[in-house]
């Protein structure tokens, strides 16, 4: 019995090794191509779960089923209107035919390299066929800054968008997708992540933007000063009208008061004409002489006569 222990143990180990070598599992996001001595054997395996293969001689080449990211390098591209720009693109792709993918590209690293060549090439061809405005805008919708838009439109007529960025990126994707299809790859999306002027042009653009903004600011200040002058003028006119109305009102009140006072004086002095004459004489003297004037009255003067007659009483 002891002689059988070692052979049985060896057989058990061989069975375990053989079992592991003859089976493999795929997750729900994996697919595989089985190769024998480096050559594909059979169709692609796309279903998740446990699968069998020839032990020791078959190799499982796994590929991702999920969407994969592609990020291109920024490229300097001239537009149709001879403006040099940096274009940075990105996209998403997936492996839809693992067998063809393996036969043509072998792995994802080679696939990324081929996508670089294809998508960057189509991006260059497409951008070079259109004016800059088509790459930076999708519609002719006015800018949010209406003042800047109006000023810019007066300075130079804005070009109208005929295709727009959305159609350009769709065109890039369709052309590139047709090429990568032969590699067992589906290209689902390509987008422009960023567009920048080259350094030389960018400096000129910034200078022009600064100059444009300064001109708008100067115009706004001029309009503000004009408006301020208009407000001040209106305020002065309003003040003059208010003062004039107040003066007229004061004169009316003063006239009414004087008339009322005259009426009262007339009624009061009508009862004693001599006293009225005496009061009028007293009121006249302050208008004739001041406090520094010495006044000598004769005995026959009217004022002295009133004083003398008053003292006798």
| pLDDT tens for each residue of 295-310 | 666 666 666 666 666 5
Question: Which pLDDT value is given to residue 35?
Answer: 94
- Reply yes or no on whether the pLDDT at 294 is more than 90: no
pLDDT mean over 81-110: 93
- Summarised one tens digit per residue, pLDDT across range 112-169 is 999 999 999 999 999 999 988 888 887 777 655 554 455 444 444 456 777 888 999 9
How far does CA 22 lie from the centroid of its chain? 61
With 60 as the cut, is the pLDDT of residue 311 above it?
Answer: no
| pLDDT tens track for 165-189 | 899 999 999 999 999 999 999 999 9
**Residues sharing a CB contact under 8 Å with residue 23, sequence separation 6 or more, in sequence order:** 50, 51, 52, 53
Residue for token digits 């005496």? Answer: 278
Percentage of the chain modeled with pLDDT above 70 = 74
- Mean pLDDT computed over every residue of the chain: 82
pLDDT-based confidence at residue 54 (cuts at 50, 70, 90): confident
Q: What is the pLDDT of residue 17?
A: 61
Q: Report whether pLDDT(229) > 70.
A: yes
Q: How confident is the model at residue 56 (pLDDT cuts 50, 70, 90)?
A: confident
> Per DSSP, what are the bridge partners of residue 76?
86
Measure the CA–CA gap between 34 and 93, rounded to whole angstroms.
23
Spatial neighbors of 67 by CB under 8 A, at least 6 apart, are 92, 93, 94, 188
The predicted pLDDT at position 156 comes to 43
CA separation, residue 68 to residues 46, 87, 92 (Å): 17, 21, 6
CA distance 88 to 90: 7
Query: pLDDT over 90 for what percent of the chain?
Result: 34
User: pLDDT band at residue 204, thresholds of 50, 70 and 90?
Assistant: confident
pLDDT of residue 157: 47
> 242-278 pLDDT, tens per residue?
998 898 888 888 888 888 887 777 777 677 676 667 7
The confidence score (pLDDT) of residue 89 equals 94
pLDDT value at residue 299: 61
Please state, in angstroms and rounded to a whole number, the distance separating the CA atoms of residues 305 and 40. 152
Instruction: Show the 3-state SS of the chain.
Output: CHHHHHHHHHHHHHHHHHHHHHEEEECCCEEEEEEECCEECCCCECCCEEEECCCCCEEEEEEECCCEEEECCCEEEECCCCCEEEEEEEEEEEECCHHHHHHHCCCHHHHHHHHHHHHHHHHHHHHCCCCHHHHHCCCCCCCCCHHHHHHHHHHCCCCCCCCCHHHHHHHHHHHHHHHHHHHCEEEEEEEEEEEEECHHHHHHHHHHHHHHHHHHHHHHHHHHHHHHHHHHHHHHHHHHHHHHHHHHHHHHHHHHHHHHHHHHHHHHHHCCHHHHHHHHHHHHHHHHCCCCCCCCCCCCCHHHHHHHHHHHC
- 7 vs 161, residue with greater confidence: 161
């Amino acid at each position: 019995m002891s002689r059988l222990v070692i052979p049985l143990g060896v057989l058990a180990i061989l069975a375990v090794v053989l079992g592991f070598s003859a089976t493999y599992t795929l997750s729900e996001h994996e697919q595989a191509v089985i190769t024998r001595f480096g050559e594909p054997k059979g169709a692609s395996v796309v279903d998740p779960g446990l699968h069998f293969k020839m032990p020791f001689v078959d190799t499982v080449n796994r590929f991702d089923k999920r969407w994969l990211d592609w990020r291109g390098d920024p490229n300097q591209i001239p537009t149709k209107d001879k403006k040099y720009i940096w274009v940075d693109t990105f996209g998403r792709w997936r492996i839809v035919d693992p067998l063809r993918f393996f036969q043509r590209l072998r792995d994802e690293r080679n696939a990324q390299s081929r996508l670089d060549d294809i998508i960057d090439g189509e991006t260059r061809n497409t951008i070079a066929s259109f004016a800059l405005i088509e790459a930076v805008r999708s519609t002719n919708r006015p800018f949010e800054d209406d003042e800047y838009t109006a000023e810019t439109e007066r300075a130079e007529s804005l070009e109208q968008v005929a295709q727009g960025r959305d159609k350009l990126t769709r065109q890039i994707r369709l052309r590139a997708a047709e090429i990568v299809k032969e590699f067992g790859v589906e290209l689902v999306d390509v987008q422009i992540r960023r567009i920048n002027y080259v350094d030389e042009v960018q400096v000129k653009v910034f200078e022009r933007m600064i100059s444009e903004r300064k001109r708008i600011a100067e115009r706004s200040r001029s309009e503000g000063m004009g408006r301020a002058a208009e407000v001040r003028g209106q305020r002065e006119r309003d003040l003059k009208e208010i003062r004039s109305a107040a003066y007229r009102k004061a004169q009316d009140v003063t006239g009414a008061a004087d008339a009322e006072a005259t009426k009262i004086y007339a009624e009061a002095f009508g009862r004693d004409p001599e006293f009225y004459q005496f009061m009028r004489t007293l009121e006249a003297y302050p208008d004739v002489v001041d406090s520094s004037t010495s006044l000598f009255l004769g005995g026959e003067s009217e004022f002295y006569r009133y004083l003398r007659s008053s003292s006798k009483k």
